[in-house]
Structure 1
Amino acid sequence: MNRDTESMQCRPPAVAGAFYPGDPLALSAMVSELLAAAKPMSLPHQPKAMVAPHAGYIYSGGVAAHGYRSLQPYADEIRRVILLGPNHRVPLAGIAAPDVSCFRTPLGDIEIDQEMISQLADKGLLQINSLPHHQEHCLETQLPFLQKLLSNWQLVPLVVGETAADDVAALLEEVIHEPGNIVIVSSDLSHFHEYHEAQRIDNHTSELIETLQPVIHPQQACGAFPLNGLLQLAGRMGLRVITLDRKNSGDTAGGKDQVVGYASYAFV
């Protein structure tokens, strides 16, 4: 298949019916309920960036909803979402953007900003590689929240493999200052520790994030590579991190013997 033909395609949902409902009405109702249940937090300014978790909605959807609820006052101003998350399925070095025209969820199609992707690729800041996106859930799980929240917007979806914080920060610096843009990093926290041990680990990780220290390890947060790039740039920009919500699967829908941590943060 040549590039021109592939670029006309829409990336179909990979985890609809598993991580979130595959039925459009059920999905719309679930996201609306999660947003309505989230306690609104008034932010001093429109966030430049946000971090949100990406597990199944019964586990992390409430924590993610706290992040997206905080964006509601600014929804009409957001025109482009630069969405970054880790590679769970395919080995990857660097940052990969897909060669497709849209991403599809049960709620509809989202237009990809192919022009911005081409500009970033021309500057050597990312590679065009659809393979890491085919079965990846970390970006897809954010999309129904964004679809319920935003209108008239475009998506720049990026899977980030093993990548230096400097390289991620260089890409983000190209996009974060433009009005109407927001950067969202998709990441969970620690994985499969006993409840109290997970709390201890996640407390430390959260302190590093809140103090803008780009030294997060993948064992602390699966999205460590994009997260460290954001933290590095946020430190240079003088941004402040506000923790919007933090729980683990033992608090939501799972047992306490092996839990996964979740948190939402706003960068203002």
Structure 2
Amino acid sequence: MVIRYPAVAGMFYPSDPHELIELIEYCYLHELGPGSLPTGGVFRKPIGLVCPHAGYIYSGPVAAHSYKALSSRVDGKITVVILGPNHTGLGSGVSTMKGIWRTPLGDVKTDDEFIDRLWRNCDILDLDESAHLREHSIEVQLPFLQHLSMLHPVDFKIVPISMMMQDYETAIEVGHSIAKVSMELDRRVVIIASTDFSHYEPQDIASKKDALAIRAILNMDERELYTTVVNNNITMCGYGPTMAMIRAMKELGAGDVRLLAYATSGDITKDYSSVVGYASLIVE
């Protein structure tokens, strides 16, 4: 079985498991975080999340809002589809992989049955490990999921999908395929779109641009999100994964979206001259 070893442990988050748990819990309790640790819950319907993927000291408190909301909505066996942008340029345009993803907190298994059916039914999706080996956008979500499992009886398996191609048509096809396989296999699914928002803009410009993209997500309008990002030159790295998540969630019956948190790296560093935007949203 393929083991995908951590690429950014010791950089985006601590490589020591005890330090990692301490930092995750710090993110929950941070002034920009939700203010309390995850609670137990019961799975009732598919959940979609938009969640950032920067270093935990920067985006962790915002990410914690997504996982706090998730914790009260899951129990038992859950398949987590994690869609992330491909920052490295390695591998196929859209790819998944089977195997074990290792982090300092242990191993996370992939849902191989889901992956087999997905890549066979989605023409644009390849089975390609190379796209995942150095990519951080999926990896950084895993310790939060593992920490949640330590606190409550939740057993996560993942379906990692790396998207270098983020055009509208690709995202719609990927989202449709995720929903189709979820229903065919009767999976209890959570779909995470891993993305940061504006990159390296002054705070006032970044927040205004990000508000436009967030509005499109709140409208659950994939086309609006795509045209908004393109027409306003919004450097949101995971707009394709976000469009795919929205499409999948709509086909799975979701109709409600809420913004859980928005902040920038400037809110952490207090340097507002060049910031990265982070947002957490939930779709259900």
Cα gap change, 1:24 to 1:248, in 2 (>3 Å) = same
Percentage of pairs with the same residue: 34
1:93 Cα deviation after fit: 5.5
- Equivalent residue runs for 1:21-170 within 5 Å: 21-37=14-30, 38-39=34-35, 48-91=47-90, 94-99=93-98, 101-125=99-123, 126-150=125-149, 151-163=154-166, 164-170=170-176
Q: Provide structure 1 residue ranges, at least 5 long, that are not aligned to the other structure.
A: 1-7
* Secondary structure of 1:88's aligned partner: coil
Residues 27-56 of structure 1 show CA distances to partners (whole Å, capped at 9, x for unaligned) of 01111222344246999x655211100000
Q: CA deviation at 1:137?
A: 0.5
State the partner residue of 2:219.
211
Greater CA drift, 131-140 or 67-76: 67-76
3-state SS of 1:166 partner: helix
SS of equivalent to 1:30: helix
* Partners of 2:35 and 2:46 in 1: CA distance: 17
How far off is 1:69 after superposition? 0.5
1:192 aligns with 2:195: no
In the alignment, what sits opposite 1:221?
236
Answer with 130-139 or 164-173: which moved more. 164-173
Q: Let me know the Cα RMSD of the aligned residues.
A: 2.4
User: What is the distance in 1 between the residues matched to 2:247 and 2:189?
Assistant: 18
Residues 92 and 131 of structure 2 are in contact (CA less than 8 Å); yes or no, is this contact kept in structure 1? no
Any idea what the Cα deviations from partners look like across 1:49-87, whole Å, max 9, x if unmatched?
A: 111000000100000001100111223145211111000
1-structure distance, mates of 2:172, 2:9: 34
**Does 2:22 align with 1:14?**
no
Alpha-carbon separation, structure 1, partners of 2:175 and 2:26: 35
In 2, Cα distance between equivalents of 1:91 and 1:254: 34
2:165 counterpart letter in structure 1: E
TM, length-normalised to structure 1 = 0.89
Q: Which amino acid aligns with 1:248?
A: T
- Name the count of aligned residue pairs: 260
Take 1:179 and 1:9, find their aligned partners in 2: how far apart are those partners?
24
Distance 1:79 1:235, change over 3 A: closer
- Aligned partner of 1:263 in structure 2 is 279
- 8 Å Cα contact 1:47-1:266 kept in structure 2: no
Unaligned 5+ segments in structure 2 are none
